[in-house]
Amino acid sequence: MKRAPKATTNAAKRVTFQVTASPKSSVSLAGTFNQWDPKRHPMKDTNGTGSYSITLMLPKGEYEYKFVINGNWVVDPECRNWVRNNYGTLNSVLKVD
């Protein structure tokens, strides 16, 4: 008896987000992947140099996001893909293949 082939899954991929801010800043990541909750993904500056990062596992798809630095919502300065949001500002866009 033959076995049916297993269905392929939408496997998640490791995605690292990185931004530079003043050392000892409060930095987090918010986007469509966490319902824009700035408390859910705080970022760490492990070297104390102001280079904040976080790695998430994200399934295939397109995501909008922003960094929240000391309460200010900012686009990713390294991202070239943006869309206008309902507040008249921009969101960064990431596509995970």
Residues of the domain holding 38: 13-96
pLDDT digits (tens, 9 = 90+) for 31-82: 999 999 999 999 999 999 999 999 999 999 999 999 999 999 999 999 999 9
On whether residue 5 sits in a domain, the answer given is: no
On whether residue 30 sits in a domain, the answer given is: yes
CATH of residue 22's domain is: 2.60.40.10
3-class secondary structure for 10-74? CCCEEEEEEEECCCCCCEEEEEHHHCCCCCCCECECCCCCCEEEEEEEECCEEEEEEEEECCEEE
pTM comes to: 0.87
How many domains in the chain? 1
On whether residue 3 sits in a domain, the answer given is: no
pLDDT digits (tens, 9 = 90+) for 10-29: 689 999 999 999 999 999 99
